[in-house]
A and B are shown apart, each in its own frame.
Chain A
Amino acid sequence: MSETVDARGLSCPQPVLLALAAMKKLDKGELTVLVDTDTSKENVLRAAASQGWQEAGVEEKAGSYQIRLSKG
Chain B
Amino acid sequence: MEEILAALPRQQHPDLLVGMETADDAGVYRLSSEIALIQTVDFFTPIVNDPYLFGQIAAANALSDVYAMGGRPLTAMNILCVSLKMVAKEDLAAILRGGIDKIHEAGALLVGGHSVEDQELKYGLSVTGIVHPDRILTNAGAQVGDSLILTKPLGTGVLATASKGRLASPAVEQQAADLMRTLNRIPDDVLASGTIHAATDITGFGFLGHALEMAKGSQVVLTVFASQVPVLAAALEFAAMGLIPAGSFANRRFCEHHLQVSSGVKPLLLDLLSDTQTNGGLLLAVAPAAAPHIVRRFQEEGLAATAIVGAVTAPGPGVIRVEP
Contact = CB atoms under 8 A, between A and B. Distances in A.
Interface of A: 12-14, 16-17, 19-20, 37-39, 42-50
B161 interface: yes
A50 B242 contact: yes
A17 B241 CA distance: 9
B244 A46 contact: yes
A46 B241 contact: yes
Contact of B240 (A17, A19, A44, A50): A50
A44 B167 CA distance: 16
A16 B243 contact: yes
B249 A45 contact: no
B241 to A, nearest CB: 5
A23 to B, nearest CB: 11
Nearest to A38: B249
Nearest to B161: A13
Contacts of A50: 240-242
Contacts of B244: 39, 42-43, 46
Contact of B242 (A37, A38, A46): A46
Contacts of A12: 161, 164, 245-246
Contacts of B167: 13, 17
B264 interface: no
Given A17-B167, A20-B241, A20-B242, 13 more contacts: A13-B165, A14-B165, A16-B165, A16-B241, A38-B249, A39-B244, A39-B249, A43-B242, A43-B243, A46-B241, A46-B242, A48-B242, A49-B240
Nearest to B237: A50
B269 interface: no
Contacts of A13: 161-162, 164-165, 167, 242-243
Contacts of A43: 242-244
Contacts of B161: 12-13
Interface string B162-176: 101101000000000
Nearest to A37: B246
B290 to A, nearest CB: 39
Nearest to B244: A43
9 contacts: A12-B246, A13-B242, A16-B243, A20-B242, A39-B244, A42-B242, A43-B242, A43-B243, A45-B242
B249 A42 contact: yes
B224 interface: no
A63 to B, nearest CB: 16
